[in-house]
Amino acid sequence: MIFMKELTIFTDGASRGNPGRASCGFVVLEGETLITQQGKYLGIQTNNTAEYTGVIEALKWVFTNLGTEVIIRFRMDSMLVAHQMKGEWKIKHEHIRNLYYTAKQLEEKFPSVTYTHIPREQNSRADAMANSALDDPKNSGQD
């Protein structure tokens, strides 16, 4: 019997101005063990773009570093992204639809990916990564 890793990934996006200077962050945990936490500066973007990019960057990181035999449980404070990724809400803007499709293509590589909206207070680590990348774009990346 093969046991797959189960990861909990917290993601967040930040934009100072909307659109404005933007970044994303993600934190990957296996149980209570921190696997990685990263932030990425995105330039001038909307907050929703930053939120989606956090999911995409996390999926890319997992695929590149851990392979595909992984169960992923996303936790995010973006109600929009959580509900759209679950197919519960419509996507009205083309640029968001493109990000959605990119995330869905990455998601298909894994046996199970779920999305759960959480209160902002429970997402402080991913928020810190996004804000760190926004405050110091030259040093955004793995922490």
- Give residue-wise pLDDT tens across range 17-73: 999 999 999 999 999 999 999 999 999 999 999 999 999 999 999 999 999 999 999
Q: Which structural domain range is residue 25 located in?
A: 5-139
Averaged pLDDT of the chain = 95
Is the model's pLDDT at 6 over the cut of 90? yes
How far, in Å, are 1, 16, 79, 118 from residue 132 at the CA level? 41, 13, 22, 21
pTM: 0.95
Domain count, the chain: 1
Domain of residue 20, CATH code: 3.30.420.10
User: How many CA atoms does the CB half-sphere of 113 hold within 13 Å?
Assistant: 23
Backbone torsion region of residue 141, taken as left when φ is above 0, otherwise alpha when ψ lies between -120 and 50, otherwise beta: left
Prior bond to 119 cis, omega within 30?
no
